[in-house]
Amino acid sequence: MKILIADDSRVMRQIVTRTLRQAGFDGHDLVEAADGQEAHDKAQAEKPDLVISDWNMPEMTGIEVLRKLRAAGNDVKFGFVTSECTEEMKSAAESAGSAFFIVKPFTAEQFDEVFSPILG
């Protein structure tokens, strides 16, 4: 599968990548985006099977990216890995069509639980 990892922190993109590996999800094609606009553009151009996105990013927030993709008819499986977790955010994410919501700091066990049904 092709996975797009969107986070303005290069370190966090690396940690997401490493945690995916630690959770046993090796061998996937990984693409990165460093801000919301790039995430949107790559989600359209690269046609990933899964988008793992930060919430708070320059240019466009993660939720704006998701809404824009859905408005354009892009139905890619999309979810959030973010340090912020409020009920209003979770609710906004669900309404926009988010498939998961992982809060930083996260563990490989949490990744396993969330991504096993998606990545197999």
Instruction: Indicate whether 77 belongs to the interface with another protein (CB under 8 A).
Output: no
Neighbours of 120 (CB within 10 A): 7
Q: How far is the CB of 82 from another protein (least distance, A)?
A: 7
Instruction: Indicate whether 30 belongs to the interface with another protein (CB under 8 A).
Output: no
Q: How far is the CB of 44 from another protein (least distance, A)?
A: 24
Instruction: Indicate whether 72 belongs to the interface with another protein (CB under 8 A).
Output: no
Question: Can you tell me the distance from the alpha carbon of 34 to that of 99, in angstroms, rounded to the nearest whole number?
Answer: 21
Copy the structure tokens of residue 111: 């990744």
- H helices of the chain, where? 10-22, 36-45, 62-71, 87-96, 108-119
Stretch that binds another protein, among 40-48, 68-76, 86-94, 112-120 (CB under 8 A): 86-94
Of the candidates 47, 107, 113, 116, which one interacts with another protein according to CB under 8 A?
107
Of the candidates 1, 2, 8, 67, which one interacts with another protein according to CB under 8 A?
8
Alpha-carbon separation of residue 10 from 71, 97, 105, 118 (angstroms): 28, 26, 16, 24
Instruction: Indicate whether 95 belongs to the interface with another protein (CB under 8 A).
Output: no
Neighbours of 103 (CB within 10 A): 13
Q: Could you list the residues that contact another protein (CB under 8 A)? A: 8-12, 14-15, 18, 56-58, 82-88, 103-107
